[in-house]
């Protein structure tokens, strides 16, 4: 009874504290969808543009382009210098902040300014859409940045977890790829490849502009028209993705791999803390260090980091170990403790 009372109380509280968000939305003649929201509680404003382009829209032989442009479109425009003296200097000197992010479905850019700097935010995003500089110099610079980002993300526990999940969850839909893409695709892409991608996707009819904060509707509508109305409409983006078959059963997948210095092991079953032996090859030894990870508690195990391999042999996890670990996971599920399993 107490649980029921608490639930009802929570629902009533949620309803009382809920609020409706009022906004205006309309389309420019070039297809740009505009959403405006006024909130005068604080003298700040956000200008943001979301492009309907993500990893799923890429050529499977030219992956990583959407995320790459998240970096490249900060390399300057015809009227904004590249490097720190460009975007950073303009935004920071006007009391603002900015960032961007990419997913499988969209790329998102935003700036937050004091509300009296609204026009600067709109000008910056119109410059990104109308006058981006896509040059080999910027491509080479950001290629190294993206490679380092990939190295940093993968060189940590569970760094490739999402990649393994999506490649086994999806068979035909482009969701099976990763947002950051394959580095060899970026290395082999030409300047013209990048220009074609930009011309196809970073156009007003494939984007949504949102302005929210301490604004006046009429003034903002006039400014949006001033900076975006003359940007040419692009060709309509056609999408026809393959459809996945329904998922009707769980698919357990343990990826076989090798243990090298700097990598991580999930369990003592793989590397013994007492002997430093890898089960796959009893004659190969490693030095490991304790590295407790909160996620590892889902398996009732610690996680161990390989510090040094004492032989030149690659240390492989055997198929027998994979089967044993697979059985361990299934036991967790059958015991009803699946909420503890973080995958």
Active site residues: 70
Burial class (CB in 10 A: 0-12, 13-18, 19+), 215: buried
DSSP conformation class of 206: G
Contact 95, 113 (CB under 8 A): yes
Nearest alpha carbon to residue 307 among 292, 287, 283, 323: 287
Measured in whole angstroms, the distance separating CA 216 from the mean position of its chain's CA atoms is 33
Strands 24-27 and 33-38, by their bridges, are: antiparallel
Quote the CA–CA distance of 222 and 72 in Å, as a whole number: 29
For the chain, the maximum distance between any two Cα atoms, rounded to a whole number of angstroms, is 76
Residue carrying structure tokens 């290629």: 143
Displacement of CA 285 from its chain's centroid (Å): 37
Closest CA to 299 of 260, 255, 268, 329: 329
Query: Residues 147, 152, 155, 159: is their CA dihedral positive or negative?
Result: negative
Residue 274: CB partners within 8 Å, gap ≥ 6? Answer: none
- Using alpha carbons, select from 314, 263, 262 the residue that is nearest to residue 284: 314
**Count of residues for the chain?**
343
Residues sharing a CB contact under 8 Å with residue 321, sequence separation 6 or more, in sequence order: 269, 270, 279, 280
Residue tagged 């796959």 (tokens): 280
Whole-number Å distance between alpha carbons of 110 and 130:
16
């Amino acid at each position: 009874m107490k649980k029921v009372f608490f639930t009802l109380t929570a629902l009533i509280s949620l309803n009382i504290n809920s609020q409706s968000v009022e906004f205006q939305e309309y389309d420019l003649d070039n297809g740009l969808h505009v959403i405006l929201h006024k909130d005068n509680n604080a003298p700040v404003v956000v200008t943001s543009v979301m492009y309907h382009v993500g990893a799923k829209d890429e050529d499977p032989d030219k992956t990583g382009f959407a995320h790459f442009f998240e970096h490249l479109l900060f390399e300057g425009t015809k009227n904004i210098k590249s490097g720190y003296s460009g975007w950073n200097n303009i935004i920071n000197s006007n009391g603002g902040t900015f960032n961007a992010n990419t997913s499988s479905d969209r790329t998102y850019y935003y700036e937050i300014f004091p509300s009296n700097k609204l026009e600067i935010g709109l000008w910056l995003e119109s410059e990104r859409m109308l006058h981006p500089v896509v040059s080999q110099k910027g491509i080479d610079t950001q290629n190294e940045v993206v490679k380092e980002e990939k190295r940093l993300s993968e060189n940590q526990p569970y760094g490739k977890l999402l990649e393994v999940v999506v490649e086994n969850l999806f068979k035909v839909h482009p969701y099976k790829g990763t947002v950051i893409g394959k580095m060899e695709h970026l290395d082999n892409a030409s300047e013209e490849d990048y220009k074609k991608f930009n011309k196809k996707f970073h156009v007003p009819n494939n984007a949504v502009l949102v302005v929210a904060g301490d604004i006046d509707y009429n003034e903002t509508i006039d400014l949006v028209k001033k900076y975006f109305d003359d940007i040419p409409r692009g060709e309509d983006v056609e999408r026809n993705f393959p459809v996945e078959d329904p998922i009707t059963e769980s698919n357990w997948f343990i990826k076989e791999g090798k243990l090298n210095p700097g990598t991580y092991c999930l369990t003592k079953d793989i590397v013994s803390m007492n002997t430093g032996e890898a089960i796959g090859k009893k004659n190969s030894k490693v030095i490991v260090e304790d590295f407790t990870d909160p996620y590892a508690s889902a398996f009732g195990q610690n996680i161990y980091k390989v510090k040094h391999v004492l032989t030149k042999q690659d240390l492989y996890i055997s198929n027998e170990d994979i089967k044993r670990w697979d059985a361990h996971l299934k036991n967790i599920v059958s015991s009803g403790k699946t909420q503890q399993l973080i995958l």
